[in-house]
């Protein structure tokens, strides 16, 4: 805690007034709570409250509290200045949240200098963790889910695929991952279409896919409106009826799933969490979440935060506010998450997890859900060395 000592000298009087209890550990959560991506903030906060309700506010001998900060959207300037404010003014010992890659990258120099373990709940670009040793990720990387998708598709007898991804960092990651894995198996990617971020009408793109008549179309889009329109266009333009299989990842995530209606049934995705996952840990999580927030819907962002908090609790119990020691304690940690078994990989600092092949179906209550059809066990961050 070199930084804090320097600070204490520089601003001695003020620090003394606000000195924290030695055994009180603060966690700063930086994520959007306003703007078009406010849903992330809601999902994180609900999941954190659920974890606290189930496991109490203490870890080891330490009392844990959370401070939430709104970053608004993709805004690295704001993310960095909030991180500084949290570290200097609020004296937090851990940072968490981070929905977008640039926001996560922007705090890199700050967390390295202050030796603050930082748990990423969402941002999915592999390279983030190379920027600082203090990043830990409880979400996933695009390689982690795209590669299993490609291998599974080949095993199902699919030989020709067209990939359609949004033309920006994550989309291109997904395209590269899918292509590498699918071609390694012997499949053929006959066309790779990159769709501009501003695309609103996907008919032209999907019509050209249809004209090429591949066995399947692999896609990656940013969440929200584009995903919704793309998927609807896929179905309405008869690609499904023409036997072109839909291969996706996050497209059928739970908060927007019901909006597809009957059209959504049968969509195939590879992903690490479905709220329909059958396990004791998931049932416990969902029951408590529903008790605290009756309208809440659990999705990947929820478990990213839930497991992230678990990781923080374990680090605090093992090392308190000692950043480097906490980091060592986290490496190799194993636990049972609502999504299945997890291991924190010591090298990539991204969780090793099961990836599930799912299909959208109606459940007993008549609601759409992602039903897990098969499992690819213990997948690490396959993008680390690429």
Partner 1 sequence: MDLILNIAVDGVAYGMILFMIAVGLSVTMGLMRVVNLAHGGFALLGGAFAHWLGTDAGLGFWVAAPLAIAAVVVIALPLERLIYRRIYGFGELQQVLATIGLTFLMIATVNRWQGSTLLPIALPDMLKQTVDLGFRQLTAHRAAVIIVGFAVIGALWLLLDRTRFGIRLRASVDNRDTASSLGINTGRIYMLTFALGAGLAALGGILGAELLPIDAYYPLRYMVLFLIVVAIGGMGSILGSFIAALSIGIVETASRYLLPEAATILFFGLVILFLALRPKGIMGRA
Partner 2 sequence: MSRLILPLALLAVVTVAAYVLFPFNLAFLTRILIMIVLVMSLELVLGFAGIATLGQAAMYGAGAYAAGLFAIHVWADPIAGLLVGAVAGAALAVLSGLVLMRTTGLTLIMLTIAVAQICAEIANRARDVTGGADGLRGIRMQPVLGMFEFDFIGKTGFWYAAAVAFVIFIALAILSRSPFGLSLKGIHESPERMEAIGVSVYWRRVTAYVLGGGIAGLAGALTAQITQLVSLETFSFTLSAEALIMLILGGTGRLYGPIIGTVIFMWVHHTAAANDPFNWLFVIGGMVLAVVFFLPQGLVQLPTSLTRLVKKGGEHAGS
Q: Does 120 bind partner 2 (CB under 8 A)?
A: no
* Burial class, 127, CB count within 10 angstroms (exposed 0-12 / middle 13-18 / buried 19+): middle
Q: Does 204 bind partner 1 (CB under 8 A)?
A: yes
d(CA 35, CA 232): 25
Choose the contact partner of 266 out of partner 2, partner 1, none; CB within 5 to 8 A by kind: none
Binding mask 253-292 for partner 2 (x = CB under 8 A): ----------------------------------------
Backbone angles phi, psi at 289, to 5 degrees: -60, -45
Binding mask 109-148 for partner 1 (x = CB under 8 A): ----------------------------------------
Partners of 70 in the beta sheet? Answer: 31
d(CA 137, CA 348): 9
d(CA 3, CA 279): 43
**CB closer to partner 2 out of 169 and 341:** 169
d(CA 130, CA 240): 40
**CB closer to partner 2 out of 176 and 268:** 176
- The first and second tokens of residue 301, run together, are 């962002």
Choose the contact partner of 255 out of partner 1, partner 2, none; CB within 5 to 8 A by kind: partner 1
Q: Does 266 bind partner 1 (CB under 8 A)?
A: no
d(CA 257, CA 220): 16
Q: Does 79 bind partner 1 (CB under 8 A)?
A: no
Neighbouring CB atoms inside 10 A of 15's CB total 16
Q: Does 53 bind partner 1 (CB under 8 A)?
A: no
In the complex, the smallest distance separating the C-beta of residue 276 from partner 2, rounded to whole angstroms, is 28
> Using the 8-state DSSP alphabet, how is residue 350 labeled?
B
Please list every residue from 40 through 59 that binds partner 2, using CB under 8 A: 41
Q: Does 10 bind partner 1 (CB under 8 A)?
A: no
Please list every residue from 165 through 194 that binds partner 2, using CB under 8 A: 167-170, 172
Q: Does 211 bind partner 1 (CB under 8 A)?
A: yes
Backbone angles phi, psi at 307, to 5 degrees: -70, -30
Number of residues that make up the chain: 386
- The first and second tokens of residue 232, run together, are 């609807």
d(CA 2, CA 18): 18
d(CA 311, CA 120): 11
Return residues touching partner 2 (CB under 8 A): 3, 6-7, 10-11, 14, 33-34, 38, 41, 69-70, 72-78, 80-82, 84-85, 88-89, 101-102, 105-106, 108-110, 113-114, 125, 127, 131, 167-170, 172, 196-198
Return residues touching partner 1 (CB under 8 A): 35-39, 42, 167, 193-201, 203-205, 207-208, 211, 224-225, 228-229, 232, 236-238, 255-256, 259, 261, 263
């Amino acid at each position: 805690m070199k930084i804090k000592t320097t600070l204490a000298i520089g601003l001695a009087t003020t620090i003394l007034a606000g000195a924290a209890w030695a055994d009180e550990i603060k966690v700063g959560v930086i994520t959007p709570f306003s703007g078009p991506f406010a849903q992330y903030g809601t999902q994180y906060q609900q999941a954190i409250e659920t974890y606290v309700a189930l496991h109490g506010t203490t870890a080891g001998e330490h009392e844990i509290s959370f401070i939430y900060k709104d970053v608004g959207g993709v805004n690295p300037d704001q993310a960095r200045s909030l991180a500084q404010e949290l570290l200097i003014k609020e004296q937090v010992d851990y940072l968490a949240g981070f929905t977008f890659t640039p926001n996560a990258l922007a705090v890199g120099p700050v967390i390295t200098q202050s030796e603050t373990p930082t748990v990423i709940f969402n941002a999915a670009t592999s390279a983030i963790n190379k920027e600082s040793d203090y990043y830990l990720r409880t979400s996933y990387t695009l390689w982690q889910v795209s590669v299993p998708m490609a291998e599974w598709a080949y095993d199902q007898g699919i030989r020709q695929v067209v990939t359609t991804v949004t033309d920006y960092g994550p989309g291109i990651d997904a395209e590269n991952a899918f292509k590498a894995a699918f071609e390694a198996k012997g499949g053929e990617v006959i066309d790779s279409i990159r769709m501009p971020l501003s695309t609103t009408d996907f008919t032209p793109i999907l019509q050209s896919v249809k004209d090429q008549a591949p066995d399947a179309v692999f896609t990656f889009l940013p969440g929200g409106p584009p995903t919704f329109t793309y998927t609807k266009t896929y179905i309405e333009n008869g690609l499904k009826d023409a036997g072109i299989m839909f291969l996706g990842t996050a497209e059928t995530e739970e908060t927007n799933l019901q909006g597809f209606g009957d059209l959504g049934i049968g969509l195939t995705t590879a992903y690490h969490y479905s709220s329909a996952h059958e396990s004791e840990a998931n049932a416990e999580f969902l029951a408590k979440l529903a008790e605290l927030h009756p309208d809440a819907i659990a999705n990947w962002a929820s478990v990213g935060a839930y497991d992230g908090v678990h990781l923080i609790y374990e680090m605090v119990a093992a090392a308190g506010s000692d950043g480097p020691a906490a980091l060592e304690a986290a490496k190799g940690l194993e636990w049972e998450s609502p999504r299945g078994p997890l291991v924190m990989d010591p090298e990539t600092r991204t969780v090793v997890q099961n990836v599930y092949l799912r299909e959208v179906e109606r459940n007993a209550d008549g609601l759409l859900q992602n039903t897990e059809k098969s499992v690819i066990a213990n997948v690490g961050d396959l993008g680390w060395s690429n």
